[in-house]
Chains A and B, each alone.
Chain A
Amino acid sequence: MWQKLYTWLDERLGLGDMYANLLDRPEPKGNWWNTLGSASLFLFILQGATGIFLTVYYTPSPDHAYDSITYIMNDVAFGWLIRGIHHWGASLMVLVVFIHMVRVFVTASYKYPRELTWLIGVGLLLLTLGMGFTGYLLPWHQMAYWATTVGTQIAGSVPFLGEFILKALRGGPDLSALTLQRFFSAHIWMLPALLAGLIGVHLYLIIRHGESHFPDEED
């Protein structure tokens, strides 16, 4: 019975090929530091899952954002857990992605033929930081409000373009409902879409070139 089902699915999906091409690959001798990339991926997926749950109750308006978060924390069943994981997961993801980058740097895994993997990696690092920056404003509390005021101000200090960048980020001269709406949209649609796309390319490249081996005296 199971055998039949598997054959049926294999014929249409090509499960056997997938196994041969994706999973049953040779790898250089592994190292625990090499788990950080997949840990980043895991955290990204976890953030996505918990984030989707949070949008069920979260309201991106200055009048309701704070209260909706309070509601999630106190009244929604397991809301505190979902928010807690998302909150700490964000910090952890930045940390893990950064250490992943440092390990790739130390083992010089960005060299031929993996230059593009690195290039895309830098994009991933910046996007992850962008997620942190936009997500921080969403609870609309004092700390976030003033940190974002200063943060956008810093972006506004770019010569010539500063004024434009500042207005584009804030949606006006000051932080307002428009800013919150913008950050929300960036945090749940634009940045994650970009991240997911780039992670896809990143992973394709890793499978294509294989994981690099740990360098020894010869390399």
Chain B
Amino acid sequence: MNEETKKTISEKYERELQKGERFWPDSIFKDVVVSLGLFVLLLLLATFVGVHTPPKADPSDTSYIPRPEWYFLFLFKFLALYGQIPVLGKIEFIATVIIPGAAILVLTLLPFIEKSPYRHYGKRVLPISVMALFIVSMVTLTMIADIPTTSGTDGVYVAGIAQTIGGLVVPGLAFLGLFIMAFTLKQKAKKGMIWTTVIASVLMVVFTGLTLVYAPTVEAEAAEVPVTLPDQITAGQDLYSVHCVECHGDDGSVSVIEGVEGLEGEELTPINSRDVLYTITDSAMQEVIAYGRPTAGMNPFGKAYGGELTRSEIDYIVTFMRYAWDDRFEMPPVKPLYPALAEGEVPSYDVHIAPIVKRYCISCHRAGKENNNYLMGTYDEILHSGDNGPNVAAGDPESILLLTIQGTPILDDNGDELIGTMPPNKQLKADIIDVFLRWVMAGMPQTAEEAAALSTAPLPTPTP
């Protein structure tokens, strides 16, 4: 840049300053308004949206789908799409290093690449078009980041084709077109470049729309992570009921195992005793559960050792054991398993039966256990499965389920026991039996609304 141009620029700037404002208070005022606005926005976000907390890191759970911060999503998606390109797609570092590296280099050296002294956008069509395309690609790639790149099945995967075209082909061609025009047509290229940018952007948006419309509906895993202590204790108790009760009993007091194949009569230290709770630290306890006591007959539960539980889940169990049994910890108020029923109120599957079943029945009534194929994981299973099912019939007090939980075994024609009392080793508390009774007698409503419709006066005040 020669001295002449520099002088023109400085003179123009001086003239602009004459017409301008003062930094204090004019400019500062606007700065303060915007910063304050952002601060209020942050307060609102922190208060009303909060922070979503995924479960604790678990190096053994490789099935977890990694998801970076949202502002890196477009790069992830770009990598995934790039990997689809035949041959070139196998050379990973072109997409991970060369292309982003080149983009950053161009951005850094921009003042030395675009050397013309012109600042008005009418005279800078190429740079502005490139930037516009870049931003549109970033936004569209971010929007489709969560949609699988391939479907994993045969057949036409429309969303896959649409995203390859919209995320890779169109922007690629448009960039190419811009540069060819800029270097061959020189000054006359303005219109062509503007149209290329506009058309490419519209196409990208359209194909993104198509991708979103044709995206396979993925079942959002609404796995709520318990964050408060009472929730963690409840989660731990549920997990304990499923995995540990058969050997250690529901209060951890078992000292001689009964009714477990292969371990009949095995002696163990009650795990609710001070001997165990005072001598084993939290992290040692997590290890015991994760690794089990294979020599003594307790199998490993941690995913790292082939079990089913994640680190967080094991954490919750330990938390539950501490607060429920260790006298050095004070149990915080924990939400009751199910909201108490008012007179005439009908319980529903969602609100009452599901948590009860999870706590008292699921440990045996799930796949892989001995239970006459009576699975109790879902509403439909409870209603229809089982070798002697259906085990519940609307309004029938003689339903198998109701008889067995009230201590009446089911006998076959020869008078031999076909189904024992449920749960086998202990009697349910009277109020839980009452919930089951009311539920079956009212016709087994699934949702809270259905149950409310069946309730007889006095109408209950809704329990949260």
Chain A residues packing against B (C-beta within 8 Å): 19, 22-30, 32, 34-36, 38-39, 42-43, 46, 62-63, 66, 69-70, 73-74, 80-81, 83-85, 87-92, 94-96, 98, 102, 105-115, 118-119, 122, 126, 129, 132-133, 136, 139-147, 149-151, 154-155, 157-159, 162, 174-175, 210-213, 215-219
Contacts and interface: CB of A to CB of B under 8 A. Distances in A.
B119 A107 contact: yes
Nearest to B127: A105
A139 B96 CA distance: 26
Contact of B34 (A25, A32, A112): A32
B16 to A, nearest CB: 4
Contacts of A212: 13
B334 to A, nearest CB: 15
B119 A141 contact: no
Nearest to A98: B71
Interface of B: 1, 5-6, 9, 12-13, 16-24, 26-28, 30-31, 33-35, 38-39, 41-43, 45-47, 49-51, 53-59, 61, 64-72, 76, 79, 92-93, 96-97, 104, 107-108, 110-112, 114, 117-122, 124, 127-128, 131, 135, 227-229, 283
Contact of B93 (A19, A62, A159): A159
Given A110-B110, A112-B1, A43 B38 contact: yes
A150 B142 CA distance: 17
A142 B56 contact: yes
B93 A157 contact: yes
B71 A105 contact: no
A83 to B, nearest CB: 6
Contacts of B5: 112
A70 B315 CA distance: 13
Given A92-B41, A147-B68, A154-B79, 5 more contacts: A27-B22, A29-B16, A87-B46, A95-B71, A132-B71
Main SS class of interface, A: helix
B370 to A, nearest CB: 34
30 contacts: A22-B23, A27-B26, A28-B19, A42-B35, A42-B39, A81-B46, A84-B42, A84-B50, A85-B42, A91-B70, A91-B71, A92-B42, A102-B135, A105-B110, A106-B121, A108-B118, A112-B117, A122-B104, A126-B104, A132-B71, A143-B64, A144-B57, A146-B65, A146-B66, A146-B67, A147-B67, A151-B72, A159-B97, A213-B13, A217-B120
B133 to A, nearest CB: 13
A74 B56 contact: no
Nearest 3 pairs of A and B residues by beta carbon: A84-B46, A146-B66, A145-B57
A15 to B, nearest CB: 13
Contacts of A113: 6, 9
A189 B255 CA distance: 54
Given A110-B110, A219-B119, A145 B21 contact: no
Contacts of A216: 120
Contacts of A23: 23-24, 28
A96 B229 CA distance: 37
Contact of B69 (A22, A91, A211, A218): A91
Given A73-B227, A106-B128, A210 B46 contact: no
A175 B64 CA distance: 15
Contacts of A149: 66
A149 B117 CA distance: 45
Contacts of B33: 35
B43 to A, nearest CB: 7
A83 B47 CA distance: 11
Nearest to B56: A66
B111 A136 contact: no
Contacts of B45: 84, 88
B111 A110 contact: yes
A27 B120 contact: no
A24 B17 contact: no
B42 A27 contact: no
B64 A73 contact: no
Contact of A85 (B46, B54, B97): B46
A92 B104 CA distance: 21
A87 B68 contact: no
Nearest to A128: B71
Given A126-B104, A132-B69, A118 B111 contact: yes
A33 B353 CA distance: 58
Contact of B111 (A83, A119, A215): A119
B327 to A, nearest CB: 22
B23 A150 contact: no
A62 B127 CA distance: 46
Given A39-B31, A66-B57, A84-B51, A28 B43 contact: no
Contacts of A210: 13, 17
Contacts of A174: 59
A94 B66 CA distance: 21
A141 B19 contact: no
A21 B223 CA distance: 58
A46 B39 CA distance: 9
